[in-house]
Structure 1
Amino acid sequence: MPTETQGPYPGDGSNTVSGSVVNALALSGINRSDIRTSVGSASGTAPGLPLKLTITLVNSASGCAALSGYVIYLWHCTRDGLYSLYSSGVTGENYLRGIQVTDTNGQVTFTTIFPGCYSGRMPHMHVEVYPSLASATSYANKIKTSQFALDRSVCSTVYSNVSGYSASVSNLAAISFSSDNVFSDNTSAELAAQTIALTGDTTNGYTGTVTFGITV
């Protein structure tokens, strides 16, 4: 899995909003499988088509052996292309962010929503890896940062047929993987590795799987 930028909305303690450090990793309750709702004093729920994503973390330096006991931090935008903690209107929310510890199979499964497409980027999800739960408190301890891509044809189907995603239709039409400022320099093999395999429909939602290879 290629290393990618964390982007401007990581919520991992590495930047600030209005002078205050933004660190979702320090929130009580951030270790959870369902990231559709906010935790702590925030109480919002992100609307959107359900998406259940299973990430399998493996050691690329050791025959792709499963890596258990590591932490996956996942975050992504709303169906409107907004990021909790940062974007106007949702700075008081922390939904669509969460961490989990990989099991003996190197897996975690997040229940979330299908992300929207905002101007200038292909639909994607952000991910960081930490070596343990105790270390998953600050960006300073992360050992890998990357982004997952979503299949364009599936995105087009969702955006055209699911209520609430209408703005994503024109945004998706104006962007491609070759013009995306993150994915454009990747080889076809790298992009294939980053792309989430999706099955499902626009009524019941989608299930996604992706294997995340790192070297440890």
Structure 2
Amino acid sequence: MKTFGAHPESQHHGHRLAEDLPRMEAQLLERRRALLWLSSSALLASCGGGGGSDSSGASALTAAAVSAAATSGTTAASTSTTSSTSTSTTTSTSSSACPALPAETSGPYPADGTNTASGSTSDVLTASGIVRSDIRSSFISSSTVAQGVALTITLTLQNTNASCAGLAGYAIYLWHCDRSGNYSLYTASAENYLRGVQVTDSAGQVSFTTIFPACYSGRWPHMHFEVFTSLSAATTGKNSVLTSQLAMPSDVCNAIYPNVTGYSASVANLAAVSLATDNVFGDNTAAQIAAMTPTMSGSASAGYTARAVIGLAV
């Protein structure tokens, strides 16, 4: 972390509310005293010149002036303190509740019309049937069901520029590898399973039923996703407003890979990689990694449920 020299003025003024309050209170006291003196002088002058003024009325007016001065000073100090506290709280809530996820590579296997597979453009987004919540089976020329630990994941799309409001009507395309580390339409070329699109509801949510992905050589276990402003925009595959990835929690990886049939190759692959050395997640901050890692509950035998918030600055 870089360290810079202090600005000369900062040596005389800490710029903190705790340091400013005593000075503010002293100034307000002087202000109240001045207002009291002016009010009393005016009232005394009035009583001396008019001859018919009521002394009790003068006392009441003087008390009212003192009260007004005190109230004015107290309100000003209170407003200043409240404003500072409110700004700090709002900023903290906005930045931590739904942080914007960083953009990441779509990788070599997106099947979204942006690259080729087996010499031809691979674009599953234009296929009839791609809009679905259960993405475990192939649906074009095969009906093979991808085997593995069941996982239902709910993604909530939120606007980081609007107090984390849910973004309705957006399309999210989710895809990932199977339990052997292969991607449909590429290394599992006869299949198109583990790919699907859902449109966010009024709360900005979509849910997918899938399987827990493998850990293949060189990468931390992950899922890919793309966000589009609408379903019609998603069918081109080239207009995503965010392309990123989700990191699978290490404790769930360690619960599944050594204990479930079909994931055995993932044990050694996971041991050889970490989030810090991963070529996608490695340059992200701890806060970004936390936001990109779904929270999960369940078991290898019963399956897992997962949730993640996708923050998007709209």
- Asked if these proteins are the same fold (TM beyond 0.5), I'd say yes
What residue is the counterpart of 1:24 in the other structure? 124
Which of 143, 155, 171 pairs up with 1:71?
A: 171
What residue is the counterpart of 1:34 in the other structure? 134
How far apart, in 2, do the equivalents of 1:175 and 1:153 lie?
Answer: 14
Aligned-pair RMSD on alpha carbons? 0.7
What residue is the counterpart of 1:112 in the other structure? 210
Which of 219, 242, 253 pairs up with 1:144?
A: 242
Higher relative contact order (CA 8 A, sep 6+): 1
In terms of fraction of residues, the more strand-rich structure is 1
4+ runs deviating over 6 angstroms:
none
CA offset digits 1:81-118 (Å, max 9, x no partner): 0000000xx20110000000000110000000000000
> Which secondary structure state, in structure 1, belongs to the residue aligned with residue 294 of structure 2?
strand
In terms of fraction of residues, the more helix-rich structure is 2
Residues 125-140 of structure 1 correspond to what in structure 2 (within 5 A)? 125-140=223-238
TM-score (norm 1): 0.98
> Which secondary structure state, in structure 1, belongs to the residue aligned with residue 309 of structure 2?
strand
Instruction: Identify unmatched segments of 5+ residues in structure 2.
Output: 1-100
1:161 aligns with 2:259: yes
How far apart, in 1, do the equivalents of 2:181 and 2:202 lie?
Answer: 34
**Max Rg structure:** 2
Percent identical: 57
Task: State the AA in 2 paired with 1:75.
Answer: W
What residue is the counterpart of 1:103 in the other structure? 201
How many residues get paired? 214
Which of 268, 274, 285 pairs up with 1:176?
A: 274
Quote how far apart the aligned CAs of 1:154 are: 1.1
CA offset digits 1:144-169 (Å, max 9, x no partner): 10000011121011101111111100
Preserved contact between residue 31 and residue 99 of structure 1 (Cα < 8 Å): yes
Instruction: Identify unmatched segments of 5+ residues in structure 1.
Output: none
How far apart, in 2, do the equivalents of 1:126 and 1:28 lie?
Answer: 21
> Which secondary structure state, in structure 2, belongs to the residue aligned with residue 192 of structure 1?
helix
1:44 aligns with 2:144: yes
Preserved contact between residue 27 and residue 39 of structure 1 (Cα < 8 Å): no
TM-score (norm 2): 0.67
